[in-house]
Amino acid sequence: MRLNPSRPNRYYRALTRNLVLFVVVVSLLPLLFTGAILLYQFEQAYQSKVEEHLEVLLKKHRRTIDAFLHDRLADIRVLTRSLTVAQMKDSSLLQTKLNLLREEYNGVFVDLGLVDPKGLQVAYAGPFNLIGANYAGAKWLERARADEYFISNVFAGFRGSPHFIVAAHKRLNGQDWLLKATIDFETFNALVENIRIGQTGFVFILDRKGELQTKPRQEVVLASGAWREILALPLKEGKVTIIEQADSLDRETIYAAASLKNSSWIICAQQERSDAFMHLLRAQQAALVIFVLGGVAIVLVSLLLARRLVRRIAEADSQKEAMNEKMIEAGRLASIGELAAGIAHEINNPVAIMVEEAGWIEDLMSDDGPLSEETLAEIQRAVQQIQEQGDRCKQITYKLLSFARKTDPTVKEVSINRLVEEVIGLVSQKSRYGGVKIITDLSAGLPPVAASPSELQQVLLNLVNNAVDAIESDGGTVEVITSQEQGDIHLTVTDTGIGIAESNLARIFDPFYTTKPVGQGTGLGLSICYGIINKLGGEIKVTSVKGKGSAFTVTLPADQNNNPASASAEQAEQS
Amino acid sequence: MVQINPSILLVDDEVPFVETMAKRLAKRDLTVDTAFGGREALKKLDSGGPSTIDVVILDVKMPGMDGLETLAAIKSAHPNVEVIMLTGHATVESAIEGMKGGAYDYLMKPCEMDLLMSKVNEAVDKKRAHEAKILDARVRMHALRRES
C-alpha cells in the first residue's frame, strides 16, 4: 500500500483502458461465439435443405418427363396395334389419327409417318411434304430397328428444325414397318424450360454425350467445368448428384444432375449459390450488422461508463487524500490529549511548590517584630525557588507548544536525533510515573532527513508513547536507537512491555484498531505513522514477542542533497 | 489526658514541595516528619509505631510505589493512622479510589493552608477520639475481669 499524494493521469488512463478492454472482451466474446455457432449450424441445416430441395425437384421432374415420353410412346403403340399396315399406308387415315392426337394432347404431335422396311416413308400426315423421304442409313432408323420401341435424341433432320421422333414397329410377313411420330420440340421444351428454381436456377436436359436436348434458359458451358465432370461420372438411375463449383464467371454455383430415359438422358439443374442460400446470406448479413452495431454500442457505453467510474475513483482518491491529512491532524491532537494528564501533573507540581513558597513567605512575614537576618535569608531562598519552578513551568509549556501548533506538511531538513530528544523530554514525566526508564543510543553525525518536522515528530511521539504505555506498572525500559546504513537512516524504538499477540500484528497499522480501553486510544496512532512514513518513501516494521516486548523500526532515506556519497551510490545502482 | 501536638508524616516525591510544606506545618505547631516515596513512608511508620504519627498527608502520583499502593499498605499495617490524599487535577479519580480504600479525605494540589489545617485537625480529632474509645473499652474489660 503506497500512498501517492498525486496519482499521475497515466494511472487513471491505464485504469480506464483496462476497464474498457475488460468489459468489451467479456461482452463481445460470448456474442461472437454464440453468433458463430448459430450461423454455422444454420448454414449446415440450410445446405442440406437446399440439396434436398434440388433432389426432390429433379426427381419429380425426371418422373414427369419419363412419364411424358412413355405416354407418347404408348400413344404410338396403340396406333400400331390397332391399325394394319394397309391402313397405315393410307395418309388420309393417318391424318385423321394425327388430328385426334393433336386435339387430345394440345398439338404435341407434329406429324405421323410410316416407314417401309427399306427406309422409305410411304405414308405421311403433317405440315411438311415428306412422302417418299428416304431415311435409309439415318442413324435413328438403325437404332429404332434395333429396339422394340424408340425415342430419338433431338435432331434437325430434313426439316431443319429441332425435333425428336417416337417410333414403334409393326411386323408384317417378317418385314419391319415403322410408325413414327414427331414430337413438337417447343412443347417438350416447355416442360423443362418453365421449371424455375429461385431467381437464377433452371433446368435442362442433356444426352449422355453432352448434347442439349432442351433449350436452357441461360447459356450453359458444357465443354468444361462442372458439367464436364458430371458427364464423366457414372450417374445411377434414380440418384441425384450434386456438386458445387465456381462457374465461368466465377460465381459459386450449385450443379445437380439425375439420369432419365433409361440413363440415355440427363436432367440437369443449376443455380447460383447466392440465390439458393439467399435467406442464409440475409441472416448472416443481419447477424453481422447486429454484431457490428452491438459492438460499437458496447465499446461506446463501456468507454462512457469507465470514464465516469474512473472520474469517481479519482474524486474518491483526492477525497481520501484530504481525509488522510485531516486524520493526521486529528491523530496528532489525540496523542497530545493522551499526554495531557501527564503534562497537567507536570505543571501542577511546580505550581504547587510556588504556592507553598509564597505561603511560607507570608507565614514568615506575619511574625511580629522586625525580620531577623535568618528570616530574610529564608525569604530569599523561597523567592529563588519560586523563580526556579517558574522556569520549569515555562519549559514545559514550550515543549507542549512545539507539539500543539498546527501540522505543517512543509518538507525541511530534520535532524532525527534532536527530534528524539524533544519527544523524550515531553514523555519523560509520564514515563517517570510509570516506572519506565528511557534509554537513548543516538548515532552521532546522522545526515538530516527531508521531511515535515511536525509529522515526523508525531511519528516519534506515537511510537515512544506506545512503548511507554506497553510497559505495566512494575516498570521496564524503552530504548530509542538511531543508526545509519548506506543511504538509509534507521530509528528503532524497543520496549520491554507486554508485547503484541501474533494474531494482532497484522492489524496494528489498520486505522481505528486499538487494544486500549475505550476512551484511552483512538486506534489512529500507528495508522497515521504508517501513512506518514510511506509518504516519505520509508517503511515501518514491527517485531514483537507476547510478554517480552516489541520493537518498531522506521527506515527513512537520508536527504540526498546532503549526502553526496549515497546519492552517487544510488546513481550507480540505477545505471 | 495530656494534649500533645498532632504528629504528621508528609509524603511526596517533589523535594522542594515537601521541604517548604514541612516548614509551614511545623510553624503551625505540628510535629512534621517527611518521606519522598511510599516505601520510605512505610519504613518511618513501622519504626515510629502508630502512636507517634497521627495523620499521613500522601501524594497520589509518585514514581515507584504510588499513593494508592502506599495507602493500602498503611491501612493494613496501621489501621488507626488517618490519611489525607493530595492530588493533581488529572488524578481525582484515584483520590476517590483512595477514599474508598480508607483515606480520611482528599485535597487538590496546590491547596489552601487553612483548609489543609482544618482537615488535619479533624483527622487528628477523629483518630484521638477513636483511640480514646479503644482505651475506654480496654478499661471496661479490665474492670469486668476484676469483678468476676
Residues A133 and A207 in one domain: no
pLDDT of amino acid A293: 93
Q: Please give the grid coordinates belonging to residue B45.
A: 511508620
**How many domains is chain A built from?**
3
**What residues contact residue A300 under an 8 Å CB cut-off, 6+ apart?**
none
Percent of chain A with pLDDT over 70: 93
pLDDT of amino acid A491: 93
Chain B 89-118, residues with CB within 8 Å of chain A CB atoms = 89-91, 109-110, 113
A470: nearest Cα among A450, A496, A493: A496
Chain B residues within 8 A of A385 when measuring between CB atoms: 16, 20
What CATH number should be reported for the domain holding residue A216?
A: 3.30.450.20
- CB–CB of B66 and A341 under 8 A? no
CB-CB neighbours of A73 under 10 Å: 18
Residue numbers in chain A where pLDDT is lower than 70: 1-7, 338-339, 341-342, 402-407, 518-522, 560-575
pLDDT of amino acid B24: 92
Residues A426 and A537 in one domain: yes
CATH topology of domain B7-147: Rossmann fold (3.40.50)
pLDDT of amino acid B35: 93
Domain boundary among A135, A150, A185: A185
pLDDT of amino acid A3: 41
Q: Is residue A462 part of a domain?
A: yes
Our CA-based measurement puts residue B145 at a distance from the nearest CA of chain A, in whole angstroms, of: 51
A364 neighbors A384 (Cβ within 8 angstroms): no
pLDDT of amino acid A535: 82
**What residues contact residue A178 under an 8 Å CB cut-off, 6+ apart?**
A114, A115, A141, A144, A145, A167, A168, A169, A170
B75 neighbors B101 (Cβ within 8 angstroms): yes
Residues A466 and A501 in one domain: yes
Q: Please give the grid coordinates belonging to residue B18.
A: 515537601
A170: nearest Cα among A130, A118, A114: A114
pLDDT of amino acid A564: 42
∠A328-A331-A337 over CA atoms, to 5°? 145
State yes or no: cis peptide before A5, omega within 30 of 0: no
Distance separating alpha carbons of residues A315 and A290, to the nearest angstrom:
37
Chain B residues within 8 A of A355 when measuring between CB atoms: 110
Our CA-based measurement puts residue A366 at a distance from the nearest CA of chain B, in whole angstroms, of: 11
Helix (H) or strand (E) holding A440: strand A436-442
pLDDT of amino acid B32: 92
Chain A residues within 8 A of B27 when measuring between CB atoms: 363
> How is residue A565 annotated by DSSP?
H
Task: Supply the mean pLDDT for chain B.
Answer: 87
Instruction: Give me the domain span that covers residue A116.
Output: 83-185
- CB–CB of A389 and B16 under 8 A? yes
Beta bridge partners of A556: A489
Domain boundary among A133, A160, A185: A185
Distance separating alpha carbons of residues B79 and B73, to the nearest angstrom:
9
Residues A441 and A525 in one domain: yes
What are the E-state strand segments in A370-430? 412-414
Domain boundary among A253, A276, A299: A276
Chain B residues within 8 A of A351 when measuring between CB atoms: 110
Our CA-based measurement puts residue B54 at a distance from the nearest CA of chain A, in whole angstroms, of: 22
Chain B residues within 8 A of A382 when measuring between CB atoms: 20
Percent of chain A with pLDDT over 90: 17
Residues A486 and A434 in one domain: yes
pLDDT of amino acid A456: 86
Residue A415, chain B, CB below 8 Å: the answer is no
Q: Is residue A66 part of a domain?
A: no
Distance separating alpha carbons of residues B92 and B71, to the nearest angstrom:
15
Interface test with chain B among A338, A346, A349, A396, by most B beta carbons within 10 Å: A349
What CATH number should be reported for the domain holding residue A488?
A: 3.30.565.10
- CB–CB of A348 and B88 under 8 A? yes
Chain A residues within 8 A of B113 when measuring between CB atoms: 359
∠A358-A363-A364 over CA atoms, to 5°? 100
pLDDT value at B49 more than 60? no
Q: What is the pTM of this model?
A: 0.48
Task: Supply the mean pLDDT for chain A.
Answer: 84
Residues A134 and A265 in one domain: no
pLDDT of amino acid A572: 40
- CB–CB of B110 and A357 under 8 A? no
Residue type, A547: G
Chain A residues within 8 A of B88 when measuring between CB atoms: 344-345, 348-349
Residues A193 and A236 in one domain: yes
Nearest to A349 among B17, B27, B113 (CB): B17
pLDDT of amino acid B83: 94
Distance separating alpha carbons of residues A275 and A279, to the nearest angstrom:
9
How would you classify the pairing of strands A476-485 and A488-495? antiparallel
pLDDT of amino acid B3: 58
Residues A508 and A423 in one domain: yes
A119: nearest Cα among A164, A167, A51, A87: A167
Residues A88 and A206 in one domain: no
B21 neighbors B10 (Cβ within 8 angstroms): yes
pLDDT of amino acid A520: 65
